[in-house]
Amino acid sequence: MALASYIPRCLPDPSTATSQPHIVVALHGTLGEPHVFRALADELAVRGVGLFAPFYGRRGTQLLDVCSAEIAALVMSLPEDTTRVDIVGHSYGGLVGLRTLAVPGVRERVHTLVGLGASWRGTDTGWRPKWLIRRVLGESFTQLDQHDTAPQIPEGVKVVSVTSDADRVVPAASSRLGRVVEVHGVAHNRLPQQTGAILSALGL
């Protein structure tokens, strides 16, 4: 288990999902926290949309398949009378959301997937040695460095990528998939606060 995954969660859960017919599942990135979606939760609540921001994958440090299985179980556990489910994923969270759609039954429930500086095609940090990165930061970091699979947009799901010309974490070549919405001068870690772009991507 990565040492960084032991960092305690210290910020409040922004989730607002109760019985709303429209739910957005928001996925933080590696070593992230759900609280990054606080502003989005407030904006969605005004529109009668619930937000579910899970603290998953030991802070998003676990392998992609482990994280996606956890999120798939969450999506499938939503009430049957939920009429629309969207996924918004920041950085690694976008890739987790995409992989989740490959789990049987999940794709049929999801309307739109929005990636915020999403690492659709991995990253290329060049960090060495791999064994130390894996031990300290987590398996997801080394997997992202090795992930070069061409992403496929699942049939029936809209995919929108919100990217920034100031993102120095995820390369532009990796963060573009589906319809692309570009914002300017926004650092990678600030993308979850771009509520206007996210709401537009969701058609709200």
Ranking 112-116, 122-126, 143-147 by mean pLDDT, the lowest is 143-147
Cα Rg of the chain (Å, integer): 16
In this predicted structure, what is the pLDDT of residue 15? 84
Asked if 153 contacts 170 with a C-beta cutoff of 8 angstroms, the reply is no
pLDDT band at 136 (very low <50, low <70, confident <90, very high): very low
DSSP 87-124: EEEETHHHHHHHHHTTSTTTGGGEEEEEEES--TT---
Report yes or no: 109 and 78 within 8 Å, Cβ to Cβ: yes
Mean pLDDT score across all residues of the chain: 85
* pLDDT higher than 50, residue 5: no
Tokens of 31: 């070593």
Domain segments of the chain as ranges: 13-201
- Which residue, chain included where needed, has tokens 């969270």? 93
Q: What pLDDT does residue 96 have?
A: 94
pLDDT in the model for residue 38: 95
Q: Which helix (H) or strand (E) holds 51?
A: strand 50-52
d(CA 29, CA 55): 10
Residue 8, pLDDT above cutoff 80? no
The domain made up of 13-201 has a fold known as Rossmann fold (3.40.50)
Q: What is the pLDDT of residues 45-82, one digit of tens each?
A: 999 999 999 998 876 677 888 999 999 999 999 998 99
Dihedral angle, C-alpha 158, 162, 168, 170, nearest 10 ° = -10
